[in-house]
Each structure stands twice: as structure tokens, then as C-alpha cells.
């Protein structure tokens, strides 16, 4: 292995798939261990799925992935405050505010005064926003069917639920060991 010249692995023809695939490079054991971490692999998978989502939803419906997450959250929990959207989606409130302005310009969501907090507003979908989600849902379901092809959805759900629950437990333990509050992204 030539460490001084880190060239990408050359492509080879995969006769079974009938397409070109990247040849697996040998790595030092510690690098291979880091590359194979579940967290690293999930982030890479998430980024790839996000790119596919951008192609599918931004091009077809004019909705960015962050906007779609906000719309779905409103569809599920409306009326809902910006703080609650931020907490549930793990999106920074400033980023949500920018997205909200764009969604309001498109008349997909509305703001109303919070009944008990003069500083807060509640967000809801408009009829146009609800109609957009109804159009997006079958496309998203088809996209998920393709992604999970050959897998039982109950198995995938179980693994995701287990990983999510365990990650939440680990996060809580880590936060108790530190003396600073949780940071939001």
C-alpha cells in the first residue's frame, strides 16, 4: 500500500452486476475499524439518501429536504411552535425560521399567535401544504420501497428502533457525565 500517494481505488468491471464498482482498498487496521463504525456508515448512508431525496423532492416538488421535514412535522403535530419543531426535527431554530419564511411565501404554512405565550407563534399547514404532502407521500413510499427492496420492513424498523433507543440511552449517560447542557443543531 502506497501511503504517500493516496489515489482512489480504480474501477473494475463487476461481471455479476454488469457495472463498474470501486475496488476495495486495503487500509491500516485502525483506519478500517473507523471506516466500519456504525455511526460513520449511517452518516454516509444518510448523506446518500439525502442526495437522492434532493433529486426526488426538490426537482419534482420544489421542496428541500429540511422543508419537507418541517412540513411532515406540521402535518403530524399541528399547530406546533417553532421550538417544538426544532426539538422534534433536530434542526436549528434559525434554520427553521429561514425555511418557514420560504414555506409561507409559497403559502404552504401559516403562523398564528400562541394562546398562552405572546412571544411565540404556532405553525400549521395550509390546505395547499396538506395537498402537497398528499402528492409527496406516494413518491416517498415508492422511494422507500426501492430502498428497502429485498428486506422485510419490520426487520428494518426493529433495527432502527433498537439503534435509536440505544443511542438515546448513551446520549443521556454522556450528558450526565458532562457538566454542560445539550447543544442543539
The CATH number fitting domain 64-130, selected from 2.40.50.110, 3.20.20.70, 1.10.357.10, 1.10.10.10: 1.10.10.10
Percent of the chain with pLDDT over 90: 25
CB-CB contact of 107 with 131 (8 Å): no
pLDDT of res. 15: 55
Q: How many Å apart are CA 73 and CA 89, to the nearest integer?
A: 8
Q: Across the chain, what does the average pLDDT equal?
A: 81
CB-CB contact of 120 with 80 (8 Å): no
Percent of the chain with pLDDT over 70: 82
Q: Side-chain half-sphere of 131: how many Cα atoms within 13 Å?
A: 6
CB-CB contact of 20 with 12 (8 Å): yes
Mean pLDDT score, 11-15: 52
pLDDT of res. 7: 45
Mean pLDDT score, 37-44: 85
Which residue stretches of 2-126 are H helix? 29-35, 38-53, 59-61, 65-77, 82-89, 93-105
Mean pLDDT score, 84-106: 89
pLDDT over 90 (residue 39):
no
Tell me which residue has cell 475496488.
Answer: 23
pLDDT over 90 (residue 133):
yes
pLDDT over 60 (residue 2):
no
Whole-Å CA distances, 122 to 10, 72, 85, 144, 156: 53, 15, 10, 31, 34
Domain ranges of the chain: 28-62, 64-130
Amino acid at each position: 500500500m502506497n501511503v504517500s500517494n493516496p489515489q482512489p481505488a480504480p474501477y473494475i468491471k463487476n461481471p455479476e452486476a454488469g457495472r463498474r464498482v470501486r475496488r476495495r482498498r486495503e487500509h491500516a487496521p485502525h483506519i478500517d475499524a473507523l471506516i466500519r463504525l456504525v455511526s460513520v456508515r449511517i452518516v454516509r448512508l444518510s448523506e446518500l439518501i439525502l442526495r437522492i431525496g434532493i433529486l426526488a423532492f426538490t426537482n419534482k416538488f420544489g421542496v428541500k429536504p429540511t422543508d419537507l421535514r418541517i412540513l411532515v412535522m406540521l402535518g403530524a403535530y399541528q399547530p406546533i411552535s417553532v421550538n417544538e419543531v426544532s426539538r422534534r426535527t433536530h434542526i436549528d431554530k434559525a434554520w427553521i425560521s429561514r425555511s418557514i419564511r420560504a414555506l409561507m411565501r409559497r403559502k404552504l404554512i401559516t403562523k398564528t399567535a400562541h394562546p398562552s405565550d405572546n412571544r411565540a407563534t404556532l405553525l400549521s399547514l395550509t390546505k395547499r401544504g396538506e395537498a402537497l404532502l398528499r402528492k409527496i407521500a406516494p413518491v416517498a413510499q415508492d422511494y422507500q420501497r426501492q430502498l428497502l427492496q429485498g428486506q422485510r420492513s419490520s426487520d428494518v424498523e426493529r433495527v432502527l428502533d433498537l439503534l435509536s433507543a440505544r443511542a438515546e440511552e448513551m446520549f443521556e449517560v454522556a450528558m450526565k457525565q458532562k457538566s454542560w447542557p445539550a447543544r442543539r443543531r
